[in-house]
Amino acid sequence: MIIVIKKYRLIIAAILIVALVAGVIAAVYCARPAEEAGARPSKLLPVYCVDTTDSVAALTFDAAWGSDKTQKILDILDEYDVKATFFLVGFWVDKNPELVKEIQQRGHLVGNHSNTHPHFNSLNAEKTSIEIDAVNKKIKDLTGGDVTYFRAPFGEYNNTLISTLGDMNMKCIQWDVDSLDWKGISSGQITENVLGKVKKGSIILFHNNSDHILEALPLVLIGLKNKGLKGVRLDALVLEKDYYIDNNGVQRAK
Residues noted as catalytic: 62, 207
* β partners of residue 87: 62, 111
Distances (CA, A) of 20 to 54, 118, 126, 128, 206: 20, 38, 46, 41, 21
Number of helical (H) and strand (E) elements in the chain, helices listed first: 9, 11
Angle between helices 97-105 and 70-79 (to 10 degrees): 10
* β partners of residue 178: 205
End-to-end Cα separation, the chain, in angstroms: 49
213, 73 contact by CB (below 8 A): yes
Q: What does the alpha-carbon distance between residue 50 and residue 65 come to, in Å, rounded to a whole number?
A: 29
Nearest Cα to Cα of residue 44 among 167, 135, 202, 130? 167
Q: What does the alpha-carbon distance between residue 32 and residue 47 come to, in Å, rounded to a whole number?
A: 15
61, 208 contact by CB (below 8 A): yes
Pairing of strands 177-178, 203-207: parallel
